[in-house]
Amino acid sequence: MKKILLMNGPNLNMLGVRDPAIYGTDTLATIEAEFAAYAAERGAAVDCFQSNHEGALIDRLHEAHGCYDGIVYNPGAHTHYSYALHDAVETIDVPVVEIHLSDIEAREEFRRVSVIAPACIAQVKGLGKAGYLRALDILLDGPAGKDGASEAASAPAAEGPAAGGAR
């Protein structure tokens, strides 16, 4: 059975309360439960981790090395500035798909850049909570997925060195 780690970064513990017009009304607990149920249907087991602390997230990525088949990761605002998390994702031998509930390219200027994406095999954005399931499909089926070309084809790193390189 494949082992998947679902990681969420800062402020995502506040889903349900935090700006529902942008992030939806579901709590993180609901999203995690739905993700785990979908993964089980697809024959994968899931561990979940959320932290508001960069160091704790780096530690969890290091611990994942050699232990998981894939990671679905919403880095929250760390996306836009944490080279330390980029380096942690790049260091481990586990493929990571970056996911964002919102379309980060259609929002404020500072959200348009992801410094973590170049270390990931794909990025999913703007699909709301369904994006987490899409990210899992990419890990299990590859970027083209069961349904062929998709929104995740916009993933900047999907065709980059990380996809064809060491991973």
Q: Which residues have a catalytic role annotated?
A: 23, 100
Contact call for residue 167 and ligand DQA (CB under 6 A): no
127 binds ligand DQA (CB under 6 A): no
Among 50, 79, 82, 123, binds ligand DQA (CB under 6 A): 79
In the complex, least distance from residue 166 CB atom to ligand DQA, rounded to whole angstroms: 26
Q: Is 30 in the site for ligand DQA (CB under 6 A)?
A: no
Q: How far is the CB of 135 from ligand DQA (least distance, A)?
A: 11
Question: CA angle at residue 30 from 26 to 34, to 5 degrees?
Answer: 120
Residue 1: Cβ-neighbour burial (10 angstroms; 0-12, 13-18, 19+): exposed
Contact between 101 and ligand DQA by CB under 6 A: the answer reads yes
Q: Which of 50, 51, 82, 102 binds ligand DQA (CB under 6 A)?
A: 102
Neighbouring-strand partners of residue 6: 48, 72
- Cα–Cα distance measured from residue 36 to residue 48, given in angstroms and rounded to the nearest whole number: 9
C-alpha 8/C-alpha 107 separation (Å) is 20
What SS3 state is found at 123? strand
Nearer to ligand DQA, 46 or 78 (CB): 78
- With binding defined as CB under 6 A, does residue 104 bind ligand DQA? yes
Q: Is 74 in the site for ligand DQA (CB under 6 A)?
A: yes
Q: CB-based contacts of 87: which residues, under 8 Å, 6+ apart?
A: 119
Q: Interface residues with ligand DQA (CB under 6 A)?
A: 11, 74, 76-77, 79, 100-102, 104, 111
